[in-house]
Every structure is written in structure tokens, then in C-alpha cells.
Structure 1
């Protein structure tokens, strides 16, 4: 298992910081820069951090962005301290989360929301199956 984590303040410039950090992690994990998987993962990070900036900044000073590669999967996580947990099954998500779900599905993956491990808040997890992994 390989894991990378970065904590960013919930401010608009953090979207770019999270993308750069994620791109570096992906490259170090063997995901080719500019590949469709890398591009999908970077778009997911952009959408999730943007959502956190837009919706969670009043409840959370920062977000933790994680990139994990294990057991044939790439998992992107964005966690914040906002107690509001969106219901992905209701279909009432915004365009950004629908795009994230479509990108995950294109790689036989999924999107889930889990309560934060340390109490208040939640983490949005996006799983991609790595090409060639079955």
C-alpha cells in the first residue's frame, strides 16, 4: 500500500495546491502523467476540494486530501469537519458529484461518504480500479 496525504486550508487557492500535490503522488505511484486515469483523478480532486471550499468552509478550517494505491485500486479521499453528510443515493447531488461518480464508474469504481474517523465531519472516497487489476 502506498499513501499520500496533504492538509489544505478551505480557500479557493487550495484547489490548485491539492491538484499539484496529487499529481506528484500519482506520478510517484506509477500513474503516468497525462494518462486518462491521472486526468480523471485530478478532476476528482478539483471537484471534491472545490465542494469542500464552497460548502464546508464555515464548519471546517481545512480538508485532508489522501491518495492511496492498494489492492488494485486508486482511492482519492477528501475529508472535512462539516457535519453535513450528503446522500449520494438520493440523486440530489450537484453536477460536480455526478461527474465524479461518472469518472469513478468509468474505472469500475464508486463514490462513498463515510463519517470522519475522528468524530465530527465526513470523508468523500472515490475508488478507481487500476487498469490491468482484476
Structure 2
């Protein structure tokens, strides 16, 4: 199992910094940069960090993680807002619906849970890594 977490300051550069941090670990996790899968992962990172900017603006940092274990890749984005997103089809906005669809395209799923190490939450997106 390989896990990388980067703390990104919540602000105008957060999305770019999060994408660069995640993309920087693609080679060591066996993901081809520029592949459709890499693009999907980076789009998910962009959307989840954008949601932190919109819905948890008082979070000073967001922790963006990538975990690879076996044939699964998990993207995690944590903030200090304790309110969990509504992940029902009716409750999700367009961005989270897109994230859920991208995860489903790779036999994965979208979930959210209370953070363990601090007040707040973690949004998780699981993907099966394509062969």
C-alpha cells in the first residue's frame, strides 16, 4: 500500500496545488500521466477541492490524499466542516454527481465520513485502477 497526503492552504491556488501534488505521484503508483484514468482522477480532485472552497471556506487547510492498494486507488479530501454532503441522487449538486459518475466509470464509489484525526469530514472516491 502506498499513501501520500498533501496539505493545501484553502485559497485561490488550492485546486492547482492539489492537482499538481496528486499528479506528481502518478508515476510511482503506475498510473500513466495523460491517460483517461489520470484525467478522471485529476478532475475528481479539482471538484472535491472546489467544494471545500465553496462549502468549508473557514478550513485553513485541506488534506488531499491518494492511496493505492492492490488494484484500487482512493482519493481523499478532508476539511474542518463537520457537515457531511448529501450523497443521495436528489441531494447532490452537479459536481458531486459528476464525481460519482466518474467513480462508477471505474467500478468505484463516492462516500463521506467524519474525520478521525480532527473535527470535520473526509470525502472519499474509490476507483478500480484499469489494467
Fold shared per TM-score above 0.5: yes
Instruction: Write out the 4+ residue segments of structure 1 that deviate beyond 2 Å after TM superposition.
Output: none
Map of 2:43 onto structure 1? 43
Take 1:26 and 1:114, find their aligned partners in 2: how far apart are those partners?
25
Which 5+ residue runs of structure 1 have no aligned equivalent? none
Which 5+ residue runs of structure 2 have no aligned equivalent? none
SS in 1 for 2:11: coil
Take 1:97 and 1:27, find their aligned partners in 2: how far apart are those partners?
27
Q: CA deviation at 1:90?
A: 5.2
1:50-99: CA deviation from partner (whole Å, max 9, x where unpaired): 110111012x1111000010031000000001011112025211111011
Cα contact 1:12–1:50 (8 A) shared by 2: no
Map of 1:6 onto structure 2? 6
CA distance change for structure 1 residues 27 and 91 in 2, over 3 Å: closer, same or farther? farther
User: What is the TM-score normalised by the length of structure 1?
Assistant: 0.93
Take 2:53 and 2:20, find their aligned partners in 1: how far apart are those partners?
17
Take 1:119 and 1:11, find their aligned partners in 2: how far apart are those partners?
20
Q: How many residues align?
A: 131
